[in-house]
Structure 1
Amino acid sequence: MKRPILALLCLLFITSCVSRKEVVYFQNLDDMEARLDANKKNSLQIKPNDLLTINVSAPEQAAAMPFNLPVVGMPQSGTDAGLTVNTRQQLQTYLVDSDGNIEFPVLGTVNVEGLNRQQLSSKLKSHISDYVQDPIVNVRIVNFQVSVLGEVNRPGTFDVKDEYLSLPKALGLAGDMSIYGRRDNVLVMREENGVKTHAYLDLTDAESVNSPYYYLQQNDVVYVEPNGPQRQSASYNRNAGVYISIASVLVSVIVLITK
């Protein structure tokens, strides 16, 4: 009986040897506290194919109306033709074309590429002020989506309503990494000016908060790589666990018989 017991003890020892460094996020964070306070969030910049909502208001709202797209009614529910359909009001969107422009009422073609929300608001406000006194311009990017794939609990593509989305928050939307995900090698893929770029972030190291990829942009893809044991298990037969259990029982029976 000594051999099965020894094998069991070895198995328990191997499975329990998981380093804290492999699973704990943002180690040595206290040493970086000053730099974390100084870290600037990357403003979300407008890109071609983005969808924007822009609302212009003013003390004299009638003067601001020509600078707004018509509000459309979106159906919420309905039945057969001829019956009343419930609707909700929704702003129409501006599609940023391949040259980074939108067609804005009265003003015509406006280049918006590379601007963040506040910069575009200020730019439009400056032009509209020639026609309207004290205009207020509210801009929003409505197609902010990120995809989180790999060793997470709920992979998928997520709509983001906030202006800023950090990598840990995106992982939170996906239910966090599974215990089999590599926290030291998280891939972020991005497209900038028609060029695909990427970076690997080590989330066990607090230095990762200083990466330009720590705050995500629209259409970023996050991929969490499986760790070594999980990769190796992919090559195993799905019934391998059953076979190992049967083999263990047979070995124990043989040991008892030959004792």
Structure 2
Amino acid sequence: MLVILSSCGSRKEMVYLQQDSTQINTRFEEFTPRVQTNDILTIVVTAADPKVTAPFNPLSTMSTGNLTQQTDMALRPTYTVDEKGDIVLPMLGRVHVSGLTRIQVIDKIREELSQYIKDPGVNINFNNFRVSVLGEVARPGSFTLPSERVTVLEALSMAGDLTIRGVRENVLLIREVDGKKTMHRLDLTKQVTLNSPYYYLAQNDVIYVEPNKSQINNSKLGANTNIIISIASLIITVISVLTR
């Protein structure tokens, strides 16, 4: 009974984003992820005449109409950002992209391509935009995302949401910036979290949900403790029957 009572949580501890007077002004544009070292980018160049883009899409020229969309995506050229923050593109050579948003990289490459192609189109995607969710969630793990526009709540939903034993007021976000890891705490029970600069995730973010006090206390009860409690209950029952 004591274990059951200690595991009960109040509404204040359990409900997400409880209503208050907070003014929500979250803007994704302010917290757009930026390209980092070791990011893998898929870059496809397009133009009115597909032939002129062939030198800039060395792998995508292998695609044919018989390939599935998934196979075609796998054949598209990818580029890894080196330790200097550069990628090396066909014809263009080194292009510095570290610290830029995806849209800024598109604009920069389009400008470089303009000397070779009239009105070029550039499509860029992160190939390794991954976040990890650990701790008191239904399905912990790492998730590769098709888009960089993802929130902490969306990542938690991919992990099956927090369990009843997860602490919602103190979710830890670990982020690496310029090679240095930083740690930030989010209170998912308050609407002010929607205004946090860490509400939108960046590549390689790690979310950790810590267990509540009752879960920590329960973890101390090992198999031996359960056996002892069972034996003690049996002895008490036997004594109760014999002394009637």
**TM-score, normalised by the number of residues in structure 1:** 0.82
Contact 2:148 2:202 in 1 (8 A): no
For 1:222 and 1:11, the matched residues in 2 are separated by 28
For residues 73 and 142 of structure 1, what CA distance do their matches in structure 2 show? 19
Q: Where does residue 22 of structure 1 map in the other structure?
A: 13
1:185 aligns with 2:176: no
Where does residue 126 of structure 2 map in the other structure?
A: 141
Report the Cα offset of residue 64 of structure 1: 2.1
Deviation, 1:169, is 0.8
**Alpha-carbon distance, 1:233 to partner:** 1.6
| Cα distance in 2, alignment partners of residues 17 and 142 from structure 1 | 42
CA distance in 1 between partners of 2:207 and 2:50 (Å): 43
| Partner secondary structure for residue 18 of structure 2 | coil
Instruction: Output the CA distance in 2 between the equivalents of 1:72 and 1:48.
Output: 27
What is the root-mean-square deviation in Å for CA atoms of aligned residues? Answer: 2.2
The question of whether the paired residues in 2 share the 8 Å contact of 1:72 and 1:92 is answered with: no
Show the counterpart of 2:71: 88
Gaps of 5+ in 2: 64-69
Question: Within 2, Cα distance between the matches of 1:205 and 1:258?
Answer: 56
**Cα pair 2:172 2:183 within 8 Å, conserved:** yes
CA drift at 1:94: 0.1
* Structure 2 CA distance for aligned equivalents of residues 52 and 95 of structure 1: 6
Residue of structure 2 equivalent to 1:5: none
Alignment partner, residue 39 of structure 1: 26
1:53 correspondence with 2:42: yes
2:179 to 194, 210, 224: 194
Equivalent residue, structure 1, for 2:102: 117
Are residues 1:154 and 2:139 paired? yes
Runs of 4+ in 1 over 4 A off after TM superposition: 255-259
Map 1:231-242 to 2 at 5 A: 231-242=216-227
* TM-score (norm. length: structure 2): 0.87
Aligned residues of 2:3 and 2:214 also touching (Cα < 8 A):
no
Cα distance in 1 for partners of 2:191, 2:233 equals 44
Shift of 1:88: 2.9
Would the alpha carbon gap of residues 11 and 154 (structure 1) be closer, same or farther in structure 2, given more than 3 Å must change? Answer: closer
Partners of 1:26 and 1:206 within 8 A in 2: yes
How many angstroms apart in 1 are the aligned matches of 2:7 and 2:172? 27
Superposition pairs of residues 93-108 of structure 1, within 5 angstroms: 93-108=78-93
- Could you tell me which runs of 5 or more consecutive residues in structure 1 were left unpaired when the two chains were aligned: 1-7, 75-86
The amino acid of 1:88's aligned partner reads T
The alignment of Structure 1 onto Structure 2 pairs a total of residues equal to: 234
In 2, the alpha carbon distance for the partners of 1:146 and 1:40 equals: 20
Distance 1:179 1:73, change over 3 A: farther
Counterpart AA for 2:55: P
Per-residue deviation, residues 171-200 of structure 1 (Å, max 9, x unmatched): 111111111111111111011001110101
